A = this chain, B = another copy of it.
């Protein structure tokens, strides 16, 4: 299990390849990446986090995923600091013998990371800055699991 909370950019493809190469006994690899949308007007995204708690919260979520599904491995990378449109904010990857496990575990990780890992996004636009509000649907998504 690899968990990285970092300011530096990462290479989604290289991470996906390294992750898949490490799991030759697994048949299914799912990746999710969250990108800064190049929406009209967004100049950058600023991501704040809670050093210390962040890694712990992510590890707890990843361990829960490993308990619930038959998984070979889990990868979570999440950036903080300033990100430009089009950049990858984060990624998760799951490897499993069967595709359903890989898919469900990746969705579970995303749902929990979204609402339970201490990150906060601020949008920096031409006309000022605004903290991104949490969505009711993100909290509701946890009810699935």
Which residues of chain A have a CB within 8 Å of any CB of chain B? 11-17, 20-21, 23-39, 85-86, 88, 97, 99-100, 102-103, 106-107, 110, 141
Contact = CB atoms under 8 A, between A and B. Distances in A.
Copies in the complex: 2
A25 B13 contact: no
A46 to B, nearest CB: 16
Secondary structure of the A side of the interface? mixed
A83 to B, nearest CB: 12
Contacts of A103: 32, 103, 106-107, 110
Nearest to A135: B98
Contacts of A24: 35, 37-38, 85-86
